[in-house]
Chains A and B, each alone.
Chain A
Amino acid sequence: MTASTNSPGTLAPSPGEAEDGGRTAGPWGRLPTWLRRTIVFAALIGIWQLYTSASGVSAFVFSGPWDVAKALADGVSSGDLVTSTWTTLRMLGTGMAIGIALTVVLTVLAVTTTLGDDVLTLVSSMINPLPSVAILPLAMLWFGLTDTALVFVTANAVLWPMTVSVSMGLRTTPPTLLMVGRNLGLGRWRLTWDVMMPAALPHALAGLKTGWAFGWRTIIAAELVFGAAGSKGGLGFFINNARYYALIPDVFAGLVVIALIGIALDLVFNVIERRTVVRWGMKEGASA
């Protein structure tokens, strides 16, 4: 769980990390990264267990790691947790797909036409600071308590941070590349598609990362708001339900799943970055 608060890249071992940032390499620092992380992780679990068994905190306020592990295993074997996770991921996927498609359309319009640029700058600066969950009441009014409302809110959460970074990427395309493109006689569309888009890839990937993080937080929060998640309950519903039935280990199990998915998806994005923009030398090592 602590790992999710670390910057994702640092999960992977990277050579020479012990020396960076002015930190000194003591005996602890000379241990391999995976070993250090495992020890810290085990220690945290130990403290957690110690706290629950020694402090006498009541079981319906705080659950120990053992109970949580049991609840996790029960939830997976009964299928409840798997169904809920799948429901949430499916809605997140739909929301993100819509968000990404709209981002591409909007940013291309913005770089190819001046009017599009004005509109996008104005709209995204107005909507971007708005937490997407804040429009959930409106979405429920428009779409009812359905999947559509949640997908709408998620797409909205993904769209604006992504357009901001992608249009930033398109705008900061090195002028040399653009001039070379023009010299080759590329038209506006091919210039956008073949020169500017690849040049904006690092920003686009960073935008995707921010976008998914916003979307993920938004959909969980949205599910929690009314304990409703369309026709089938997602993870937020699972947590809420467990709370109502006083099954506190299940609440913790739901949180663990959310954190694990967060870590897993962050790792996926890191791998994508390493395979593309880092390898092509467009960005300093993503994992350093």
Chain B
Amino acid sequence: MTWTSAPPGGRPRYGRRDVLRFGAVGAGALAMASACGGSGGSGKEIVISQGSGISYAALIIMQAKGWLEKDLPGRTISWRTVSGGNATRDGLVSGKLHLGSSGLGPFLIGWGAGVPWKIVSSLNDMPLWLVAKDPRLRGLRDFRPADKIAAIAPGSIQSVMLQKAAQQQLGDAHALDRNIVSMAHPDALQALIGGQIAAAYTSPPFQFQAVEQGARKLVDSYDLFGPHGFNVMVATEQYAEKNKDVIDAVHRNIGKANQLIAASPDEAAQILSKSDKGKVSPAKYKEYLTYKGIEFTTTPHALLKIGAFMKEVGVVKKVPGDWRDAVFDTVKKENGS
């Protein structure tokens, strides 16, 4: 054991403890490095993220029918539910996800910041509403600093719509930025009905459910931008390059599911109701799916219009010059905007 103690007067030597110490530091650094690296890959497993709401109807139908498994034999497909595009971005960048859903807001922010991702397919066009319950709140002018607005997160498509509405009604796009709180749609609905937040900028069907429970619509995104895309499926360029078959299959099956929703909304509503264990009846789901203005399409719409506004108010620095710059070959030939 003499070698563990330093020799008197001499040059200090490294004892066992020092070795352990350096080893621990090295292992920590390695662990960090490996945790930060790694994305893409072409393993057998495909991990896909989705959010909550009928925006993901095509994905839910695809899962129920097992279409992806049929088209991609030998691969296992697992699904994760996330609150929004930011979570999908984190998952894709860290390599924990291979494909994911994102609203147009987080997608454009990531694209502008240099995240190497593109759109595999759009999911739908949907009107997004700001709803409030307190009778005092009639317009954006009535919001005080303490009146919280749930909008998924800063930078979400919902918060972009709020900024557009604030620009129109208050003259300052950022007037309500600090009122935004980050909440997933189901939590936001609950918090709105429970009175913990003043308003919620959510999505179908949560906005419809809020109105059913006594809230009022204050803003409709179709009044701001006209019909526009809501959620898109994204993947990193690296993954798409190595797994062309996967992104093709995802795009093709979203189209197939969209046709099913259009052709037999009854069957689609049945599947959705079954997937949430009957919490919402098939009849209600049919009503939501066929709501005026909702269109299930693989083609991204109004990407450039929304991007231009985000650039105008300083949310992003760089936007695609052509909508085709932000999509993969899967949808390039479609009639997007």
Interface residues, chain A, CB within 8 Å of chain B? Answer: 24, 26, 29, 51, 55, 57-62, 140-141, 144-146, 226-228, 230-233, 240-241, 243-247
Contact = CB atoms under 8 A, between A and B. Distances in A.
Nearest to B183: A226
B153 A244 contact: yes
Nearest to B194: A141
Interface in B274-327: 315
Contact of A57 (B37, B106, B115, B178): B37
A144 B114 CA distance: 37
B93 A61 contact: yes
A240 B182 contact: yes
B37 A141 contact: no
B109 A227 contact: no
Contacts of B11: 26
Given A55-B37, A241-B154, A244-B153, A227 B181 contact: yes
B177 to A, nearest CB: 8
A60 B33 contact: no
A226 B93 contact: no
A176 B85 CA distance: 67
B148 A55 contact: no
Interface of B: 6, 11-12, 33, 36-37, 86, 89, 93-94, 106, 109-110, 112-116, 145-146, 148, 153-156, 178, 180-183, 196-197, 315
Given A60-B115, A145-B148, A228-B148, A243 B196 contact: no
Given A233-B178, A244-B182, A246-B110, 10 more contacts: A26-B12, A55-B37, A141-B196, A144-B146, A227-B154, A231-B146, A240-B153, A244-B153, A245-B155, A245-B315
Nearest to B90: A243
Contact of B93 (A26, A58, A140, A241): A58
B145 A61 contact: no
A247 B86 CA distance: 12
Contacts of A228: 148, 181-182
B196 A231 contact: no
A244 B196 contact: no
Contacts of A244: 86, 106, 109, 153-156, 182
Contacts of A51: 33
Contacts of B37: 55, 57
Nearest to A147: B146
Nearest to A56: B37
Given A145-B197, A244-B86, A245-B315, A226 B181 contact: yes
Contacts of B93: 58, 60-61
A137 B113 CA distance: 33
B109 A245 contact: yes
A274 to B, nearest CB: 30
27 contacts: A26-B11, A51-B33, A55-B37, A57-B36, A58-B114, A60-B110, A60-B114, A62-B36, A144-B146, A144-B148, A144-B196, A226-B183, A227-B154, A227-B180, A227-B181, A228-B181, A231-B145, A240-B153, A244-B106, A244-B109, A244-B155, A245-B154, A245-B315, A246-B110, A246-B112, A246-B113, A246-B115
Contacts of B36: 57, 61-62
A241 B177 CA distance: 10
B236 to A, nearest CB: 10
A99 B133 CA distance: 36
B154 A24 contact: no
A61 B155 CA distance: 18
Given A240-B182, A245-B315, A55 B115 contact: no
Contacts of B12: 24, 26, 29
Contacts of A26: 11-12
Contact of A226 (B33, B110, B182): B182
Contacts of B114: 58-60
Contacts of B115: 60, 246
Contacts of B89: 246
A141 B112 CA distance: 38
B296 to A, nearest CB: 27
A140 B155 contact: no
Nearest to B144: A231
Contact of B86 (A29, A57, A145, A243): A243
A222 B36 CA distance: 26
Contact of A145 (B106, B109, B181, B315): B181
Nearest to A246: B113
Contacts of B153: 227, 240, 244
A121 to B, nearest CB: 35
Most buried by B among A51, A228, A230, A233: A228
